[in-house]
Amino acid sequence: MVVTRFAPSPTGYLHIGGLRTALLSYLWARKNNGTFLLRIEDTDFSRNDEAAALAIVEAFKWVGLQHDGKIEYQSSRLEIYKQHIQQLLNEGKAYKCYMSKEELEALREEQTQRKERPKYDNRYREFTGTPPEGREAVVRIKAPLEGSITVHDGVKGDVVFNVHDILDDFIIARSDGTPTYNFVVAVDDALMGVTDVIRGDDHLSNTPKQIVVYQALGFPIPKFFHVPMIHNHDGKKLSKRDGATDVIAYKTMGYTPEALLNFLVRLGWSHGDQEIFSMVEMLELFDPSDINRSASVYNVEKLDWLNSHYLKNMTNEKLCELLEFHGVMLISHDKREILLDAVKERAKTLSEMAMLISEILVKPAGFEEAVLKKGYKEDSKEVLEKFSTALRAAKELHLPSDYHHVMESVVTEMGIGFGKIGQPLRIALLGKLSGPGLDSVMAIIGVEETLERINTLISY
């Protein structure tokens, strides 16, 4: 049985890095018919936890991830933590420390001055006397005084930490009685039966502390997989500016969940030369042991490429559905197939596609001088008039090919190249010099609208 979990702190939204570790945990659990838990780490009683959890679930829903069971809030598990703290106290594996914050501060100051590592001096470790008056105590765990702690990591290998360098009797309960992060994480993961902890490698140096807790409580230590961070182009932690925004923002920008997930799974993981992974393939092929050890850089170009790939291979029905979010309603449009075929291969995102569609459906608001100069020459008017005439004479114009035949006949009759009619016609229809095939555009808007737009340009 494999149990994984995603355990974000409530920041208000799910960002791209979080989604990646969530995805990997999800894949590994599902692949093994295991369980994927969602736990909100809100031990500091931040006010926004429930709303934040909902935001995460909403993002999960959009990309198609689904956690198992109910969402666990650490803030509602206080009693459990207190029990375990008491247990350690009873067993003499933890103790109360009456040192004040000021004293601690002073000690650290001193140590830093002596170029020593700031570290608690164990002054209350074996304390049996009467506590100082009116002091609230913190609870410290008895950490090993020497030797080393080895983290057996599925990604990084065995990582050895020397107790001397990193550990002291760290605080597991604050003076107000609330437990601290490293304690609750270990307790929760153990109690919830988490077998495989997949998380960012910024947690690697926390792991020895958590192992101390596991051992003190007699819990089995899970497997750890510390996955490398995602960096920006400067090699720094991803920030909002770089795209580490709310996952839902990707929906707004017109990315599809398939592309986003495919992009994320390929960051730090690969399977031979394969670039495209469906959810089914990810489930079949993913193994956290294959995750790379080094950090990777977030680059939008690849995401864009993947997104356009998925857009190109999407059915028009599905496209139509997704475009509604971007304000384009095509359900009852009779030329919907032609329209979508014309734009689906030219857009990187859905919002871009929505724009292309409106450029076709809405007549040009005007004509730019530069555009006219480049594409509307002296003979253009004559060509367009001839074309209009031919259009009026033609019968049964429905398909792009029907319109193409008309264009062809005019070109042949006049003994000119396609370019002579293409450029001015494109300006008339779209107001610009590039865009979808003209035969498709005309088939979409119909003869009347086509004639009208040509007329508008001629008399401009």
User: Which 276-335 residues touch RNA, going by CB under 7 A?
Assistant: 290, 292-297, 299, 301-302, 304-305, 308-309, 312
Could you say which residues in the range 115-174 bind RNA, by CB under 7 A? 115, 117-118, 136, 138, 156-157, 159-162, 165-166, 171, 174
- What is the smallest separation between the CB atom of 403 and RNA, expressed in angstroms? 9
Smaller CB separation from RNA, 41 or 196: 41
Q: Does 450 bind RNA (CB under 7 A)?
A: no
Question: Taking every pair of C-alpha atoms in the chain, what is the biggest distance, in angstroms?
Answer: 110
- What is the smallest separation between the CB atom of 331 and RNA, expressed in angstroms? 25
Smaller CB separation from RNA, 87 or 148: 148
- Terminal C-alpha separation, the chain: 73
Q: Does 262 bind RNA (CB under 7 A)?
A: no
Contacts of 54 (CB under 8 A, 6+ apart): none
Determine contact, residues 206/182, Cβ cutoff 8 Å: yes
Q: Does 256 bind RNA (CB under 7 A)?
A: no
Smaller CB separation from RNA, 3 or 97: 97
Q: Which has the closest alpha carbon to 25: 73, 60, 76, 75?
A: 60
Q: Does 425 bind RNA (CB under 7 A)?
A: yes
Total residues contacting RNA (rule CB under 7 A)?
Answer: 83
Q: Does 240 bind RNA (CB under 7 A)?
A: no
Q: Does 423 bind RNA (CB under 7 A)?
A: yes
Q: Does 211 bind RNA (CB under 7 A)?
A: no
Q: Does 268 bind RNA (CB under 7 A)?
A: yes
Q: Does 70 bind RNA (CB under 7 A)?
A: no
Listed ranges 26-34, 65-73, 250-258, 421-429: which one lies at the site for RNA (CB under 7 A): 421-429
Figure out which of the listed residues 267, 282, 322, 457 binds RNA, where binding follows CB under 7 A: 267
Q: Does 235 bind RNA (CB under 7 A)?
A: yes
Figure out which of the listed residues 9, 32, 316, 456 binds RNA, where binding follows CB under 7 A: 9
What is the rounded CA–CA span in Å between residue 34 and residue 86? 32
User: How far, in Å, are 393, 406, 436, 457 from residue 390 at the CA level?
Assistant: 5, 7, 22, 17
Smaller CB separation from RNA, 34 or 273: 273
Length of the chain: 460
